[in-house]
Homo-oligomer: A and B are copies of this chain.
Amino acid sequence: MALITAEQFRESIKDDGREFYCSGELVKDFATHPIAKDLLDYTAMDYEMALDPKYHELLTEALPDGERVHFTFVAPKTKEDLIRRRKVIQTTMHVSGGPGGAKFTGIDGLNGLHLACSRIDRQMGTEYSDRVAKYRRYLMDIDAAIAVAMTDVKGNRTSHPHQQKGHQDYYVRMVSKGNDGIVVRGAKAHISFAPTSHELVVLPCRAMTPGDGDYAIAFATPTNAKGVKMIGRSDPIVVFDDVFVPMDRVFLMGEWQYAHEMPYSFATYHRLSADTYKYAELEIHVGLAALLAEYNGLEKVGHVREKLAWLVMYAEGTEALGKAAVENCEYDESGTPYPNTLYSNVAKFFFASNYYTAEQHLQDIAGGLVSTLPAMADLKNPATREYLLKYLGTGDICDAEDRMKAFRLAQRMCDHVSGNITVHAEGSMAAQKIMLYAVADWERYKAYAKHAAGIHSDHPAVRDIPPHRLMLV
C-alpha cells in the first residue's frame, strides 16, 4: 500500500487533530477553508500525478521486492538519480504550478539527514543512520506527505542559541529526555506545506557552540502530534509546545559539534531543488514578458527585445547551471551522490542576485496597468464590461480578457513574496557567498596568479610549468 490515491490522502489528514491556525482562527475543515483548500488541492496533485499513467513511470519506482513506491523516497545512489529528481520537480512545476506539496522540501530534508547521519556515525560511532533508514521505510509505507522544519525563529540573530535574552526557546531545544524519547520546545519559521503534511523532519539551522548542546537536536514528528501548532498560511510558523519525540525518531541529540552538518547537508540537496524549480518559474516569467510585449504591440522595439534576450539569458543560465551541478555531482565517502557544491551555489547566487533585474524588465515591458488594472469583476459588471472590452484589448492583437489575465499574472509575479522567496528560500545570498568562499580552491587560483606574475610557487598546478613567454590578457 505504498502509493495512495489523492482521495486517500485527503482522508488521511482529515480530523486527525492537527492544529493549523490561519487568519485568526483554527482551520476546522481543510476542504472548505478558503486558504487551506488551495493548499490541500495543491498537495493532492502529487498523489494524482503519481497514479496518472502519464507520470507514473517517472514519479514512482519499484523496490527490489517489486513494491512500487514514490521515487523521491528512494535514497539517491547515482548521478542519474539526481538528474531524474530534476525532471520530477520540473514536471511537477509544469503540471501543478509548484514544485510539489507532498514530497518537495521534506525529501531534501530526508536526504540531508541521510548524508549527515552517515558522516556523524562514522565519526562518533552513533547509529543514527539506522533510524533514518527505518524512518524512510515508514514514509514509504504511508506514502507520506512530508515537510522539513529548519529555520528557528532565532531572536537576536547575532547571539548563540543559549545566549538569547528574554527566554531560552528562540531555537528549538530539548527540555527533557528519558529512555523512550525526548521533549522538545521552540518554534521554526517558514515551514512550507506543513499544514497538509503527515510528517515533519526537524533539523538544527546553524553551527552550535559548547553551551548549545540542548539545541543540537534533529528529529521527526507527525504534524498532528500533541503540542505541534502551525500558524500562518502555506509556510507557517510551527510551534513545538513540549512535544514528545520517541527515541527512534531522534537523529541528533546533543552532539553540538556536528549540528552544522544537518543544515549543510539539507542545503546541499535543497539548493539543487531551488535551481531546478526556479527554471520552470522563469519559463513563465520570460513567457509573460514576451506575451505582454506582444499584447502591447512592442515586440519589435529594440530595447524591449534586448530585455527579452536578457531574460532568456537569465532563465537558461539558471537551467544550465542547475544542470551542471548534477552533471558534475560529487560523492561522499559512502558513495552517496550530491550536487556539485560550487556549481549549485553558483546557480542559486546567479538567479537570486539577478532576480530583481528580471522583475524590473518585466515591469518595464508591462507598463502601468500592473498598478492600475481594474478588477476582473469589473469585466463582469454589465455597466463597465463593454468599456473594458473596447479599451483594454489591443485591436488586432488580443482581446481585453486575455490581456487583463496576463496583467493579473504580472501582479502575482511581482508581489512581495516572489522576490523575497528568490532571495531567501534555500539560503540568502550571504549564505551562498560564504559557501563559495569556503569551497573555492584558493591555493590553486593563487598559484595561477603567482605563475602569471612571475612569483615563485610550489603548487602542483604550476610548479612544472616554465614562465609564460607572453601574457596575452
Contacts and interface: CB of A to CB of B under 8 A. Distances in A.
Interface string A189-230: 110000000000000000000000000000000000000010
Contacts of A241: 387
Interface in A288-303: 288, 290-291, 294, 296-298, 300-303
Contacts of A25: 377, 381
Interface in A130-151: 151
A254 interface: no
Interface string A419-450: 11101110011101110110010101111111
A248 interface: no
Most buried by B among A187, A237, A434, A445: A445
Contact of A231 (B357, B374, B470): B374
Given A283-B444, A346-B313, A190 B368 contact: yes
A159 B470 CA distance: 38
Interface string A357-372: 1011001101111111
Given A170-B391, A380-B24, A453-B406, A96 B469 contact: yes
A375 B468 CA distance: 20
A165 to B, nearest CB: 4
B473 A418 contact: yes
A415 B418 CA distance: 9
A445 B280 CA distance: 10
Contacts of A232: 372-375, 378
4 cross-chain pairs, A with B, having the tightest CB-CB distances, nearest first: A24-B377, A97-B468, A287-B449, A287-B445
Say whether chain A's binding surface is mostly helix, strand, loop, or mixed. helix
Interface residues of A, number: 172
Contacts of A179: none
Nearest to A25: B381
A450 B387 contact: no
Nearest to A99: B472
Contacts of A106: none
Interface stretch (A65-73, A262-270, A316-324): A316-324
A231 to B, nearest CB: 5
Contact of A446 (B290, B298, B355, B423): B290
Given A349-B313, A375-B23, A455 B406 contact: yes
Nearest to A23: B375
A206 to B, nearest CB: 14
A231 B378 contact: yes
Contacts of A301: 158
A345 to B, nearest CB: 8
A393 interface: yes
